[in-house]
């Protein structure tokens, strides 16, 4: 029986580990908020262009991040099993893996920039801004992935403040850099929305160098050059690719909406972007709680304590539900005020405020599924995560959203609202499936868990 004393213990552990992660995540996501606000001040077309460019940047960035995510659970499991001496290899080989992945992603961004410039299906002004935004921001990809490698490594050792500090340094640099590059201060050319991409790229390198400085100072034995070890990289990649594709499927289903609604015009794209940015900012709460959950569950499983792993997951899920209730209430009550932070256009504000209502509705399934999904990562159950994401977002969410937006199959076309209803359907589906999966794993024997973790 899950007792109150167990809840207090695990809640204290999750808050102690997760709060600095949350502050760091909020600082990082605030940079997207700043980008959207600055682009909105430059004009509705600039906000829409950044929205379309971000619709490619965000999912591909998370794809690269997903490949590296297993570094955290693997290090945590090693700590739980008492194998601390061999853990440095995960950071060293993670660096090589991040560099290889970043080269691949930079090539994809280059191709996407070309496509935007030569398409006639999107407003020409929006397309040019989106292309320029991707051209600048792609040079921050290597630094961002290297930042994540270092962050996952140190957070798994319960050192969460360095990433928080790096996030706030990045945010404080991002605000002036956005205005300098977007509006042309101090002799710089006024790049508009594209300048937000250049500012983000510069901040990526600042954040990585901050984390590298910490690692060199506090763990000089770790931050040493080693040749590529393809055995270790293969293990991380084998566990990470399902996570990467799961993140890509989930986030690209969100980002695809920005592309699919682009023919509806600048007002619709901008209003949708306001709601998406707000949703992403609020999502940092369950995401940070989930990061702490995967680390603690991984440590308990590495130590062979299945009971504590289950209790930690239950505590995390209950905390996620409580946070969701608070988020839902705040989003609904302050939806107009939130929209006014992004734009001065009355039409954008009205549309964004109405879409934020849908954002409020899916807070509970989204928060709960993130908490349980993070526990699955602690079990190295990455293939199941991929299958659940594939079904929930691409078989349920996107088709339902498209049908409701553009067709009369289910009645009068709902426009952009149809896609948001599809998101609610997809997130609810994911919430149900991840709960069924974790219940199955928690019934496995210690021998079966040990065999699963060793793969």
Q: What is the DSSP string of 159-175?
A: --HHHHHHHHHHHHHHH
Look at residue 50 and tell me whether its pLDDT is greater than 80: no
Q: Decide if 186 contacts 42 (C-beta within 8 A).
A: no
Poorest-pLDDT segment among 19-23, 116-120, 347-351: 116-120
Higher pLDDT residue, 182 or 169? 169
Total structural domains within the chain: 1
Backbone angles phi, psi at 258, to 5 degrees: -60, -35
What pLDDT score was predicted for residue 167? 83
DSSP secondary structure letter of residue 263:
G
189 CB neighbour count, 10 Å cutoff:
10
What's the CA gap between 238 and 416, in Å, rounded? 37
Question: Residue 243: which residues within 8 A CB-CB, separation 6 or more?
Answer: 66, 67, 69, 70, 377, 382, 385, 386
What's the CA gap between 85 and 334, in Å, rounded? 50
Q: Decide if 304 contacts 450 (C-beta within 8 A).
A: yes
DSSP assignment of 112-145, as one string? HHHHHHT-SSS-HHHHHHHHHHHHHHGGGHHHHH
Sign of CA dihedral 372, 376, 377, 382: negative
What is the rounded average pLDDT of the residues 332-344?
84
157's tokens: 């050792």
Q: Decide if 342 contacts 281 (C-beta within 8 A).
A: no
What pLDDT score was predicted for residue 436? 95
Look at residue 1 and tell me whether its pLDDT is greater than 60: no
% residues pLDDT > 70 (the chain): 93
Higher pLDDT residue, 408 or 290? 290
pLDDT in tens, 286-319: 888 888 898 888 888 888 888 888 999 999 999 9
DSSP secondary structure letter of residue 42:
H
DSSP assignment of 335-400, as one string? HHHHHHTT-S-HHHHHHHHHHHHHHHHTHHHHHHHHHHHHHHHHTT-HHHHHHHHIIIIIIIIHHH
pLDDT in tens, 247-287: 777 776 766 776 677 666 677 777 777 888 788 778 888 88
What pLDDT score was predicted for residue 404? 85
What global pTM score does this model have?
0.75
**How many angstroms separate the first and last alpha carbons of the chain?**
31
What pLDDT score was predicted for residue 209? 92
Question: Residue 434: which residues within 8 A CB-CB, separation 6 or more?
Answer: 369, 372, 373, 376, 385, 388
What pLDDT score was predicted for residue 219? 76
- In total, the chain counts a number of residues equal to 455
Q: Which residue has the tokens 């600095």?
A: 20
Backbone angles phi, psi at 385, to 5 degrees: -60, -45
200's tokens: 């983000």
Poorest-pLDDT segment among 212-216, 243-247, 266-270: 266-270
Q: Which of 394, 120, 422, 90 is nearest to 263 (CA)?
A: 120
Q: Which of 163, 161, 157 is nearest to 295 (CA)?
A: 157
% residues pLDDT > 90 (the chain): 17
Q: Decide if 425 contacts 394 (C-beta within 8 A).
A: no
What's the CA gap between 179 and 395, in Å, rounded? 41
What's the CA gap between 73 and 12, in Å, rounded? 20
What's the CA gap between 341 and 217, in Å, rounded? 40
Q: Distance from CA of residue 345 to its chain's centroid? A: 28
- Domain range for 55 is 4-453
Poorest-pLDDT segment among 12-21, 25-34, 176-185, 394-403: 25-34
pLDDT in tens, 138-157: 899 999 999 989 988 888 88
Look at residue 325 and tell me whether its pLDDT is greater than 90: yes
């Amino acid at each position: 029986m899950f007792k109150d004393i167990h809840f207090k213990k695990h809640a204290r552990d999750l808050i102690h580990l997760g709060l600095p992660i949350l502050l760091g995540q909020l600082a990082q996501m605030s940079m997207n908020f700043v980008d959207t606000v600055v682009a909105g001040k430059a004009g509705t077309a600039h906000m829409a262009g950044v929205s379309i460019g971000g619709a490619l940047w965000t999912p591909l960035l998370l794809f690269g991040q997903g490949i590296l995510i297993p570094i955290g659970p693997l290090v945590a499991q090693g700590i739980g099993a008492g194998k601390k001496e061999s853990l440095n290899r995960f950071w060293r080989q993670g660096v090589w893996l991040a560099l290889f992945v970043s080269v691949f992603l930079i090539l994809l961004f280059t191709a996407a920039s070309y496509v935007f410039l030569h398409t006639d299906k999107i407003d020409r002004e929006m397309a040019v801004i989106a292309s320029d935004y991707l051209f600048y921001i792609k040079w921050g990809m290597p630094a961002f992935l290297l930042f994540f490698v270092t962050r996952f490594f140190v957070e798994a050792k319960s050192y969460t403040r360095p990433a928080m500090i790096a996030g706030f340094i990045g945010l404080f640099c991002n605000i002036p850099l956005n205005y300098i590059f977007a509006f042309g201060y101090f002799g710089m050319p006024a790049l508009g929305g594209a300048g937000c991409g250049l500012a983000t790229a510069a901040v990526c390198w600042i954040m990585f160098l901050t984390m590298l400085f910490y690692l060199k100072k506090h763990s000089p034995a770790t931050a040493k050059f080693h040749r590529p070890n393809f055995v270790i990289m293969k293990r991380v990649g084998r566990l990470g690719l399902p996570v990467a594709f799961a993140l890509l499927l989930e986030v690209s289903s969100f980002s695809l909406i920005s592309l699919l609604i682009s023919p509806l015009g600048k007002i619709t794209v901008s209003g949708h972007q306001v709601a998406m940015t707000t949703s992403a900012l609020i999502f940092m709460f369950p995401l940070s709680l989930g990061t702490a959950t995967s680390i603690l569950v991984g440590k308990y499983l590495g130590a062979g304590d299945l009971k504590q792993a289950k209790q930690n997951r239950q505590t995390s899920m209950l905390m996620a539900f409580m946070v969701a209730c608070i988020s839902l209430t705040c989003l609904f009550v302050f939806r107009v005020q939130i929209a006014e932070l992004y734009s001065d256009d009355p039409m954008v504000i009205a549309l964004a405020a109405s879409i934020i209502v849908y954002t409020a509705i899916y807070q509970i399934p989204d928060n709960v599924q993130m908490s349980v999904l993070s526990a699955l990562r602690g079990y190295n159950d990455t293939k199941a995560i991929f299958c659940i994401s594939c079904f929930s977002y691409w078989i349920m969410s996107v088709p339902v959203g498209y049908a409701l937006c553009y067709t009369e199959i289910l009645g009068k076309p709902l426009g952009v609202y149809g896609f948001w209803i599809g998101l609610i359907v997809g997130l609810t589906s994911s919430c149900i499936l991840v709960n069924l999966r974790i219940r199955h794993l928690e019934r496995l024997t210690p021998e079966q868990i040990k065999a699963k973790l060793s793969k």
